[in-house]
Structure 1
Amino acid sequence: MSFNTISVVGLGYIGLPTAAMFASRKKKVIGVDVNQHAVDTINRGEIHIVEPELDMIVHAAVKEGYLKATLSPEQADAFLIAVPTPFKNNDSQIPEPDLTYIHKASEAIAPVLKKGDLVILESTSPVGATEQMAGWLAAARPDLSFPQQAGENADVNIAHCPERVLPGHVVRELVENDRVIGGMTANCSARAVELYKTFVQGECVITNARTAEMAKLTENSCRDVQIAFANELSIICDKLDINVWELISLANRHPRINILQPGPGVGGHCIAVDPWFIVSKTPEEARIIHTARKVNDSKPQWVIDKVKLAIADFLQANPDKTAKDITVACYGLAFKADIDDLRESPALNIFIEISKFHKGSVLCVEPNIELLPSNYGRHLSSMNNTLHNADIHILLVDHKEFKKIRPTSGVIIDTKGVW
């Protein structure tokens, strides 16, 4: 069965580019999101996120009538769910995944499902989430059969196909990267491959739903462990008065060594989150993964402690001044270089914490966003004003703009090895 109409539920950093890629191949695409601003922006042929090349693709797709955004699902032949999977707000030392958004998306599409439809969960999820989604759909639509009930003869096919793209390169990687296809049955996988081959040039590798879920978590957990090693190394080197950047450069000359670069922590919607999905399911077994998470989660506090020490040293060197006289500047808020994404950003958390304890001015430069969310109660500063007026400069994100400048006075705390 061909896919004439495709629905993408969740029009964020993954959903919107995915919807745009299908639409660019002359497929009718219905994007669904609960955010009215996002829906209105897309229907004007504009985008509400920062992603190179995406604006042109969305503009063309909307103008040609292949892409529209709505607040409620409509009938389609395939449904891709790309909604957030945050953590529950509890006091547990091991965060528990919150599948509320997936549950709500399932409930939203259930009334418009019909025999022959394909439902794909793209949201990064703990193992078993696809089966849970299938259960929710079956409960909502007892008139239809699903893979857990009817196997290959199910009315509705279900698969898990995790996204595997890098922010800032999403458009290219959606097309070029290999795709893991985890169907609940062989027929589910085959139909998912047929759908993605609409635009995917990479290989579509078939497995089962649980392995597909675990594959994404494994990839990001591996990165998290590697970053934790680099971050721990930076703390050790600081204590031993060794330049960690030079050390890593020397160690990486070995043909079988490739140490990553340390930073102020780990952020984003993947690497800072996905390992917890494994730890929450298998807390006794995931010891290295758990330790890496704790190392990376503690790195922002280490940076904050360095800032407090710098303030104390500044006051000792300038006894005529008080903390109110010291201006601290943070360079970068996004979770990685050259994007506008603030999700789980250690840089943002560091900026917020400094703003809480420091009695003087706290400036921030973030070239990829125009305004800070209103709940932060702070305004962004210009590069020129910050460079000339700050006493303590903290480089938190290695945006390309920061590589072209360097403060000529004041104390520098460089968490990325740029200055």
Structure 2
Amino acid sequence: MQFKTISMIGLGYIGLPTAAVFASRKIKVIGVDVNQNAVDTINRGEIHIIEPDLDMVVHAAVVEGYLRATTVPEPADAFLIAVPTPFKGDNHDPDLRYIESASKSIASVLKKGDLVILESTSPVGATEQMAEWLAEARPDLTFPQTHGEDSDIRVAHCPERVLPGHVLRELVQNDRVVGGMTPKCSAAACALYKTFVEGECVVTNARTAEMCKLTENSFRDVNIAFANELSIICDKLNIDVWELVELANRHPRVNILQPGPGVGGHCIAVDPWFIVSSAPEEARLITVARQVNDNKPAWVVGKVVEAINEILLSDKCKKVEDIVISCFGLAFKANIDDLRESPAVNIVKKIQLINRGKTTVVEPNISELPGVLDQCELVDIQEGAKADVIVELVDHNQFKVCGAPAGKIISTRGLWR
């Protein structure tokens, strides 16, 4: 099976690297995104996100004519959908509107023999729902849910499972879970990914593939929750949690993760709720883990309040309006610019509301603060280190080499403990 043209719907942190890797294999790729600025940036051979080496791959692909971006879908042989799956309101119910919009946008350009793959992390059943939306929009074509192996259009789910900061390498080297709605759908998807994937393409059905991604990130979330809860217990008992974890991990069958300020990103902080939404009565441990991690930012803010009070008690001449708090790091993990679902952003947002003095932020990977932090000032490391209270939220490499600041430090990543 040959794929002369591939369409990537969504050119974000997953879609753009995936499009670039396909294009690097001399396959024509049409990237589609609703963000005109992203489209224009890519067409100049530049990138709008931070990911090591991606700029070089995209530039080469655009210059050589294998990658082009647009806001409107065009005909292709395979369509890969990598769009966000946010929540509906505060109940953590999955919102499939972006998948629905993407599905309907490509429906008009589908032709017999095309392959449609949902890469977006999704609740169980989303791929089948996508196929229904496509069928409603194109009654002249047949789909797997009604015609099985004889369908005109092949449909599959293949979740991304890469680590930000290492996306290009992991796209190629990691195994891929491929869940087709029929065996022929899986075979077509495997043929497409083997264009660049050096790992194994492991075949299953669409529902299991959806659940696999959710399970992987729920497993990590539960383990992080244990570490975060342990850090709170150790703080109460006056124990260095990082020393404790290091000692406990010397046991040959123990591997405790490192605690932090919470859990962020577009996967671990989100995916477990998709399982909970599907089976709320059964997913008890997953629910509690999410609650532990979601509540960790409030605990960190509480430690900031304690630090302010300690300073005021020790220095009677100090006024609350004079206290400067500097927060080191906003990204949801080290050495990236991605602020999605970042607990650090949540923490800083709350600090700016309770702090009557100046609140500064040190984040070397961004050039301006998000709008929700309108009462903060973005400063460099040297300026941030002058603060009375230092809140260490992300262990960026730049922070590791600068040495511990002199102020009162609240360490959530163990960098300046």
Who is 1:384 aligned against?
382
Who is 1:116 aligned against?
113
1:183 to 180, 187, 194: 180
> How do residues 67-106 of structure 1 correspond to structure 2 at under 5 angstroms?
67-89=67-89, 91-92=90-91, 95-106=92-103
1:410 to 398, 407, 411: 407
Who is 2:325 aligned against?
328
CA deviation profile, 1:64-90 (whole Å, cap 9, x unmatched): 00000000100000000000000012x
**Are positions 1:255 and 2:261 aligned together?**
no
CA deviation profile, 1:337-358 (whole Å, cap 9, x unmatched): 0000000000111011101111
Alignment TM-score, normalising by the size of structure 1: 0.98
2:369 to 343, 361, 372: 372
Do the aligned residues in 2 keep the contact of 1:393 with 1:407 (CA within 8 Å)? no
Do the aligned residues in 1 keep the contact of 2:330 with 2:342 (CA within 8 Å)? yes
1:141 to 138, 141, 154: 138
CA deviation profile, 1:176-196 (whole Å, cap 9, x unmatched): 000000000000000000000
**Are positions 1:273 and 2:270 aligned together?**
yes
Q: For the residues of structure 2 that align with 1:408 and 1:358, how far apart are their CA atoms?
A: 20
CA RMSD of aligned residues (A): 0.8
Q: For the residues of structure 1 that align with 2:189 and 2:7, how far apart are their CA atoms?
A: 14
Aligned length: 415
How far 1:407 sits from its partner (Å)? 3.7
Q: For the residues of structure 2 that align with 1:35 and 1:233, how far apart are their CA atoms?
A: 42
How far 1:215 sits from its partner (Å)? 0.3
CA deviation profile, 1:216-269 (whole Å, cap 9, x unmatched): 000000000000000000000000111100000000000000000000000000
Who is 1:62 aligned against?
62
Who is 1:354 aligned against?
351
Do the aligned residues in 2 keep the contact of 1:20 with 1:58 (CA within 8 Å)? yes
Who is 1:196 aligned against?
193
Q: Equivalent residue of 1:75, what SS? A: coil
**Are positions 1:236 and 2:207 aligned together?**
no
How far 1:376 sits from its partner (Å)? 2.8
Letter in 2 for 1:76: A
How far 1:408 sits from its partner (Å)? 4.3
Q: For the residues of structure 2 that align with 1:231 and 1:188, how far apart are their CA atoms?
A: 42
Alignment TM-score, normalising by the size of structure 2: 0.99
Q: For the residues of structure 2 that align with 1:213 and 1:386, how far apart are their CA atoms?
A: 43
Q: For the residues of structure 2 that align with 1:383 and 1:296, how far apart are their CA atoms?
A: 28
**Are positions 1:342 and 2:339 aligned together?**
yes
Which segment drifts farther, 46-55 or 398-407? 398-407
Give unmatched runs, 5+ long, in structure 2.
Answer: none
Who is 2:26 aligned against?
26
**Are positions 1:290 and 2:278 aligned together?**
no
2:160 to 163, 176, 181: 163
1:394 to 384, 391, 394: 391
Q: For the residues of structure 2 that align with 1:112 and 1:409, how far apart are their CA atoms?
A: 61
CA deviation profile, 1:39-95 (whole Å, cap 9, x unmatched): 000000000000001000000000000000000100000000000000012x43xx1
Q: For the residues of structure 2 that align with 1:226 and 1:247, how far apart are their CA atoms?
A: 16
Q: For the residues of structure 1 that align with 2:348 and 2:80, how far apart are their CA atoms?
A: 36
Q: For the residues of structure 1 that align with 2:330 and 2:272, how far apart are their CA atoms?
A: 23
Q: For the residues of structure 1 that align with 2:102 and 2:20, how far apart are their CA atoms?
A: 20
How far 1:111 sits from its partner (Å)? 0.2
Q: For the residues of structure 2 that align with 1:215 and 1:316, how far apart are their CA atoms?
A: 52
How far 1:174 sits from its partner (Å)? 0.1
Q: For the residues of structure 2 that align with 1:210 and 1:408, how far apart are their CA atoms?
A: 50
Q: For the residues of structure 2 that align with 1:410 and 1:51, how far apart are their CA atoms?
A: 32
Q: For the residues of structure 2 that align with 1:59 and 1:259, how far apart are their CA atoms?
A: 41
Distance 1:408 1:143, change over 3 A: closer
Q: For the residues of structure 2 that align with 1:13 and 1:379, how far apart are their CA atoms?
A: 26
Distance 1:346 1:408, change over 3 A: closer
Who is 1:5 aligned against?
5
Who is 1:42 aligned against?
42
Q: For the residues of structure 1 that align with 2:117 and 2:59, how far apart are their CA atoms?
A: 25
Do the aligned residues in 1 keep the contact of 2:155 with 2:180 (CA within 8 Å)? yes
Q: For the residues of structure 1 that align with 2:60 and 2:407, how far apart are their CA atoms?
A: 48
CA deviation profile, 1:265-287 (whole Å, cap 9, x unmatched): 00000000000000010000001
Give unmatched runs, 5+ long, in structure 1.
Answer: none
Who is 2:296 aligned against?
299
How far 1:375 sits from its partner (Å)? 4.7
